[in-house]
Amino acid sequence: MSVSATHRTQLADAFLMQRDNLTLQALGAVMVQVWAQLVMHLITNTPDGVLNVSFPGTLSALARTRLFCDENLIETYLKTYAETQLITWDAKTGVIGLPAELKPSRRAEASRANGRKGGRPRKTPLSGVVADQRQSNIVLPISGGKDVARENLAKTPLTRTRDKLSLASTSSSEDKLKLDAMFKRIGPKAFEAAGFDHAKDMPNFGVVRVWLSLALAKDMTEAQGERLILGVVKDVADRQRSKGNPVNHMGYFSKAVEAAIVSGIVPEAPKTADERKAERAFEAALRDYQERLGYGETGLHRPQMSDFVAQVAA
């Protein structure tokens, strides 16, 4: 289904809800992401923002293929959303609907209904003479033609992004070798960060290659991509285990990892032993400086972190 002007308005309203709605913000990050995927699907893939999932297996398929969430938790999520009026959900009939804030206006609904009927009939002039419609079908020449259209399409951000994300299938052997080496080294680490055991669990971590490709497309270094992926996987895995619902496959982490990559926020590199030593010395010197300053001493030199880094390096 194409994205109309009404759809764009609804999607913008959904974004503002995600930013400003305190009830939504009170939910966990995973539930907010699932809600965002759900309303986007209702807006762009249903004619009236209503979806019937009463057919057996439909709700599970929706969770697995569109919302990318745990199939066993989707009904709990829907119940929570409905109780907080973030969606409408009738468990008996299996009908999911958009909240009042995201439903199209009456004018938009009327326009959509007219569109399904073929649009409004064309008005004739007041004189009663039927308008000559032949000229409306004339194809006028446009400067540039198809070549210009192709050139513009080739420069769209979407195409550039797709080009970057297809590192695994590019003709550059250098890119492929780089991605292969990264995957061979980082893939097993991500598998272990998820809490899986190479001896007991099937070592299927091919999705890590996709994550690394995304990281490279965002111009991250290999070290940055590794820190981000391992950090997100470990955090999500630990959180799910604490809830008594451990992750059972690597694909579960995709949504969180890809969102982190898009954000571009990379965890800081772990400090070396020398850096930690310099940091401790600086903190001790700073405490001493503040105490002496409090006693009224003057002419004191305020400690600088750079001084202690240089001392440790020497």
pLDDT at 270: 67
The pTM (predicted TM-score) of the whole model is 0.40
Q: What are the pLDDT digits (tens) for 26-81? A: 877 888 889 999 998 898 888 788 998 888 888 888 888 888 888 888 988 899 89
Structure confidence at residue 110 as a pLDDT band (50, 70, 90) = low
pLDDT at 130: 47
pLDDT at 308: 79
Opening angle at CA 297, ends 294 and 299, nearest 5: 125
Residues 280 and 263: their CA atoms lie apart, in Å, by: 32
Q: What are the pLDDT digits (tens) for 134-169? A: 444 445 454 444 444 444 434 444 344 444 444 444
Residues 117 and 114: their CA atoms lie apart, in Å, by: 5
pLDDT at 181 over 60: yes
Are the CB atoms for 75 and 58 separated by under 8 Å?
A: no
- Looking at residues 277-282, what average pLDDT do you find? 82
pLDDT at 233: 93
pLDDT at 185: 92
Are the CB atoms for 151 and 157 separated by under 8 Å?
A: no
Query: What mean pLDDT value characterizes the chain?
Result: 77
Query: How far lies 275's CA from each of 25, 116, 207, 309, in Å?
Result: 37, 67, 35, 7
